[in-house]
Structure 1
Amino acid sequence: MVILHADADAFFAAVEQRDDPRMRGRPMVVAHEVVACPSYEARALGIHAGMPLRQVQRRWPQVLVSGYRDEAYAEASAALFALFHRFTPLVEPGSVEEAFLDVTGRDDGDPVGLARALREAARAEVGLPVSVGVGRTKLMAKLASRRAKPDGLVVVDAGLEAHLRPGLRLDDLWGVGATTYEKLHATGLFDVADLDGLDVEDLTFVVGTAMARRLVSIARGTDDATIRLPGARRSVSASRSFPATRTRSKVVAVLDTCIERAVTRVRGLDDPPRLPRRLEVLVRYDDGTTAVERAPLDAPTLDPAALRTAAGQLLEQTAYDRDGRGVTLVGVTLPLPAPA
């Protein structure tokens, strides 16, 4: 098997630098009150996603700021995936800017050459830097692309994999979150080598059956290399985080922006677009807890005004403005019917 993991570097920031020559080679961020994506030049200063924009501007006044342009990112993502599909039909999206590609038998025995060709095409045709990892499994390809950033190529061949695999930290494995790692850590398991000799039954009581199977397969080198082709999207979401606030007008304005972004995304999926029959609104508070309200729409629609009205009613049901806690994120989800 030959699996590539292709990942556009600092995607939102890269699109802005591509489209605005003033931002190229300079520290900049895509942000609206909170940093969504810093360029690599900004990351070198210590700026990271989630930072309040005011803090960034106060400490680094030279940093340029771009607003979020949903349509530009959607167009760049579509161009990127069209490019991926030129190299292989077996493409599994990870997000709007990354995917696994199975190029087994399509690389003419030269996976490095194919990966280089993909990177060159992405730069020339889409105008974006793409880092690529090459491996025998999705895990190895993903780890390789992480190490390739920014704008690089890393290959994990069979010999390097045999050397690297036992020493991989469990908390560095794709899919192993903080909670799972804490459970493994508590039982004295820190890296893949510590899993040697353990079977699924040994690990199930610690992390559950599904994760136990995954960890055992990683330890034995039989982990996943299957590309899963995406089906039709069943929902579209849009959300935005911001510094904690209890200001009603601020929360409502963010919610309206999320509705507009979600509608744009739904319209870009199908022609004609599928009309949602339900709506969900999510509010996250400054203590990390969330509130979600759901309701059917009066009629299937993508009319922004109708959706804003319905979303506003659901927002009221969260009682966020009477709760006393600050709101740090607002989001909407539009569940979609199956394609006709």
Structure 2
Amino acid sequence: MSYGAHILHADLDAFYASVEQRDDPRLRGRPVIVGGGVVLAASYEAKARGVRSAMGGQQARRLCPDAIVVPPRMSAYTQASRLWGVGPVTAAKLRERRIRTVADVARLGEAALVSLLGAGAGRHLHALAHNRDPRAVQVGRRRGSMGAQHALGRTPHAPEELDAILASLVDRVTRRMRAAGRSGRTVVLRLRFGDYTRVTRSHTVRKATADTTGLLAAARTLLRAALPEIERRGVTLLGVSVGNLDDNPVQPELPFQADTGADLDAAVDAVRDRFGSTALTRAVLLGRAPGVEMPLLPD
């Protein structure tokens, strides 16, 4: 069996800090910095104070003196129970044998793990502990959805502010769809509440489209329906995605009429492609921070 594979490392600026907040409820809502002498990741609360990845630890401390600094986890010392595929029964068997970390698993031979856990689970954990994944890397498949999201602070947010952010997100997503020649039917609204629980709401439009106006109208309908719950629970993240993507050209409906929305989208795209994404913006977004845009994989 060949173990060669292409591995993509995605650098997510707040990912490791978010994991720490997920695992330790005491860190939620507080500025968290992961790293020692250099910041590896910063929570959204720390980033709001100006802390960024690759920043020196002392500089980060001056910007955010009340930040909680968490040392980066070492993969060898990660709990074995966190490995993919380890459920309660397998975790209990490992604890009985005092196999607690990934390093403990790696020190065991494959035969010993098979004897303890069975053929499937034993071979699976042995491979994971040695950084081997026999699954074939699939290429050539296009993504099934496109989306964007915006992290928010824990302070209350007016409906008008959320609507402006939503419009910005839909603009970003539909521009990507048109550039990739994709159209979609299902609009998904993603929310993370003040207690860090997440929900999604979706709506499927009548025909596949990449027009900003129609998809934004569907997203606004979903947001309006969620406003009472947002008011009760608060919101810390707003996201939108479009699924059921189609590669086929959108068929115009009879009778043929000029599509002013599509013409406007094409004109705006052309200006932004030539002069930059900030060359044109919605009036409601003037003076608002655009939020952090993460690097994107090819569509």
Provide TM-score, normalisation by structure 2. 0.52
The letter of the residue matching 2:188 is E
The aligned counterpart of 1:248 is 159
1:257-308 CA-partner distances (Å, limit 9, x unpaired)? 2111211222232xxx222112111111011222221111244322222222
- Mapping of residues 73-112 of structure 1, within 5 Å: none
The aligned counterpart of 1:229 is 139
Q: Radius of gyration: which is bigger? A: 2
Shift of 1:8: 7.7
Shift of 1:227: 2.4
The answer to whether the Cα contact below 8 Å between 2:192 and 2:237 also exists between their aligned partners in 1 is yes
1:134-162 CA-partner distances (Å, limit 9, x unpaired)? xxxxxxxxxxxx99xxxxxxxxxxxxxxx
Q: Distance in 1 between matches of 2:39 and 2:132?
A: 40
1:77-119 CA-partner distances (Å, limit 9, x unpaired)? xxxxxxxxxxxxxxxxxxxxxxxxxxxxxxxxxxxxxxxxxxx
Distance 1:54 1:182, change over 3 A: farther
1:298-319 CA-partner distances (Å, limit 9, x unpaired)? 4432222222221010112223
Please identify runs of 4+ aligned residues in structure 1 that moved more than 6 A. 8-11, 177-183
Q: Distance in 2 between matches of 1:289 and 1:238?
A: 18
The aligned counterpart of 1:85 is none
The letter of the residue matching 1:310 is A
Distance 1:311 1:47, change over 3 A: same
Identity within the alignment, %: 19
The letter of the residue matching 1:193 is A
The answer to whether the Cα contact below 8 Å between 2:184 and 2:210 also exists between their aligned partners in 1 is yes
Q: Distance in 2 between matches of 1:334 and 1:221?
A: 34
Q: Which 5+ residue runs of structure 1 have no aligned equivalent?
A: 12-34, 63-145, 148-166
Q: Distance in 1 between matches of 2:86 and 2:226?
A: 28
The answer to whether the Cα contact below 8 Å between 1:171 and 1:177 also exists between their aligned partners in 2 is no
For the aligned residue pairs, the C-alpha RMSD in angstroms reads: 4.6
The letter of the residue matching 2:146 is V
The answer to whether the Cα contact below 8 Å between 1:276 and 1:337 also exists between their aligned partners in 2 is yes
The answer to whether the Cα contact below 8 Å between 1:52 and 1:242 also exists between their aligned partners in 2 is no
- Mapping of residues 1-340 of structure 1, within 5 Å: 2-3=4-5, 5=7, 7=9, 44=38, 48-56=42-50, 60=62, 168-171=76-79, 176=83, 184=91, 187-188=94-95, 189=99, 190-191=101-102, 192-193=105-106, 196=109, 197-199=112-114, 202=117, 214-218=124-128, 223-224=133-134, 226-244=136-154, 245-269=156-180, 273-320=181-228, 323-340=231-248
Return 292-301 or 281-290, whichever deviates more: 292-301
The answer to whether the Cα contact below 8 Å between 2:80 and 2:91 also exists between their aligned partners in 1 is no
Distance 1:223 1:301, change over 3 A: closer
Shift of 1:253: 1.9
Distance 1:200 1:328, change over 3 A: farther
Q: Distance in 2 between matches of 1:10 and 1:291?
A: 21
Distance 1:306 1:220, change over 3 A: closer
Q: Distance in 1 between matches of 2:78 and 2:90?
A: 11
The letter of the residue matching 2:145 is S
Q: Distance in 2 between matches of 1:48 and 1:172?
A: 26
- 1:234 is paired with a residue whose SS is coil
- 1:232 is paired with a residue whose SS is coil
Distance 1:320 1:327, change over 3 A: farther
Distance 1:50 1:185, change over 3 A: farther
- 2:152 is paired with a residue whose SS is strand
- 2:187 is paired with a residue whose SS is strand
Q: Distance in 1 between matches of 2:210 and 2:217?
A: 12
The letter of the residue matching 2:141 is G
Provide TM-score, normalisation by structure 1. 0.46
Would you say how many aligned residue pairs link Structure 1 and Structure 2?
Answer: 204
The letter of the residue matching 1:184 is A
Distance 1:216 1:252, change over 3 A: same
The letter of the residue matching 2:164 is A
The letter of the residue matching 1:255 is L
- 2:174 is paired with a residue whose SS is helix
The letter of the residue matching 2:114 is D
Q: Which 5+ residue runs of structure 2 have no aligned equivalent?
A: 14-30, 52-59, 65-72, 249-299
